[in-house]
């Protein structure tokens, strides 16, 4: 399979070998169950212990690629991972701690206002300001899914912001790097350089990273129900991912 092929992944991967692997992990839906509200995801001893062991076993070749802000990733993982691409790749912290940022799009304040006005219709509609993007969550108000997506499409067309659909959320983000771009950037420098990239994620936002991993000789692992994807393998849920990672040697 080349990097642009799409399949329906439906088989779990073989046991993970830490030797020579560069491991890239999504957070929500991969290391932690998706919560109704973003702030409800908390650190857990199991994940913290696992991350510590993986970081040691991989000799630092561990990165998190998440839609969350950098502060949120650090909160949930108790700052155990230095190499992080946050807000879907718009902000990247390198393995030596350097933060590579970009200027937020000037239309974000007006988009936030429009989303907050829309969210006044139902208490289950949640607007999240990530600094470089605005996310409109409708998991607690699924009846508003169609109108939320319609609003996001209209705002993207009017402002030039990038539309980023996800699991029961639409996000308008500053145009810029994706998770796939971030994976390639990490792989071009130590300690990742020369290793085989493996990326584990659950959402449509993870597809660019699945393709990037495959293009560099590695593979992607989809978490959740079967669907067309650039990932080669699939695991059912977060517990399956944690068990697979805990068995890695």
φ/ψ region of 131 (left if φ > 0, alpha if ψ in -120 to 50, else beta) reads left
Active site residue 26: yes
Strands 133-137 and 7-8: unpaired
Exposed, middle or buried, 87 (CB in 10 Å: 0-12/13-18/19+)? buried
Q: What are phi and psi of 246, to 5 degrees?
A: -65, -25
In this prediction, residue 5 carries a pLDDT of 64
Average pLDDT by stretches of 10, the chain with 249 residues: 63 96 98 91 97 97 97 97 97 97 95 98 96 96 97 97 92 96 98 98 95 98 95 97 97
In this prediction, residue 36 carries a pLDDT of 84
- State pLDDT tens for residues 58-87: 999 999 999 999 999 999 999 999 999 999
- State pLDDT tens for residues 45-60: 999 999 999 999 999 9
> Half-sphere exposure (CA, 13 Å, Cβ side) for 120?
6
In this prediction, residue 78 carries a pLDDT of 97
Model confidence, pTM? 0.92
The structural domains of the chain, ordered by start, are 15-102+177-246 (3.40.50.1000), 108-173 (3.30.70.1020)
Q: What are phi and psi of 186, to 5 degrees?
A: -60, -45
φ/ψ region of 200 (left if φ > 0, alpha if ψ in -120 to 50, else beta) reads beta
Measure the CA–CA gap between 219 and 199, rounded to whole angstroms: 7
Measure the CA–CA gap between 97 and 100, rounded to whole angstroms: 10
In this prediction, residue 1 carries a pLDDT of 47
Measure the CA–CA gap between 232 and 74, rounded to whole angstroms: 29
Q: Which helix (H) or strand (E) holds 84?
A: strand 84-86
């Amino acid at each position: 399979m080349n990097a642009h092929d799409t399949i329906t992944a439906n088989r779990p991967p073989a046991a993970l070998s830490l030797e020579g692997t560069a491991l890239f992990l999504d957070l929500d839906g991969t290391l932690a169950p998706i919560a109704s509200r973003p702030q409800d995801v908390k650190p857990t001893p199991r994940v913290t212990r696992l991350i510590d062991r993986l970081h040691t076993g991989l000799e630092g070749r561990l990165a998190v690629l998440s839609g969350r802000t950098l502060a949120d990733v650090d909160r949930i993982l108790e700052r155990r991972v230095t190499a992080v691409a946050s807000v879907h790749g718009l902000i990247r912290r390198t393995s030596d701690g350097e933060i590579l940022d970009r200027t937020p799009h000037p239309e974000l304040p007006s988009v936030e206002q429009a989303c907050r006005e829309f969210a006044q219709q139902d208490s289950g509609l949640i607007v999240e300001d990530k600094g470089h993007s605005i996310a409109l969550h409708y998991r607690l108000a699924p009846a508003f899914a169609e109108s939320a997506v319609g609003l996001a499409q209209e705002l993207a067309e009017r402002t030039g912001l990038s539309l980023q659909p996800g699991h029961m959320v639409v996000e308008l983000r500053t145009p810029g790097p994706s998770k796939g771009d971030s994976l390639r950037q990490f792989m071009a420098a130590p300690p990742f350089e020369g290793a085989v990239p493996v990326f584990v994620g659950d959402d449509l936002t993870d597809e660019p990273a699945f393709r990037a991993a495959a293009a560099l000789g590695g593979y992607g692992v989809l978490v959740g129900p079967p669907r067309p994807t650039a990932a080669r393998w699939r695991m059912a849920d977060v517990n399956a991912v944690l068990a697979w990672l805990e068995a890695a040697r």
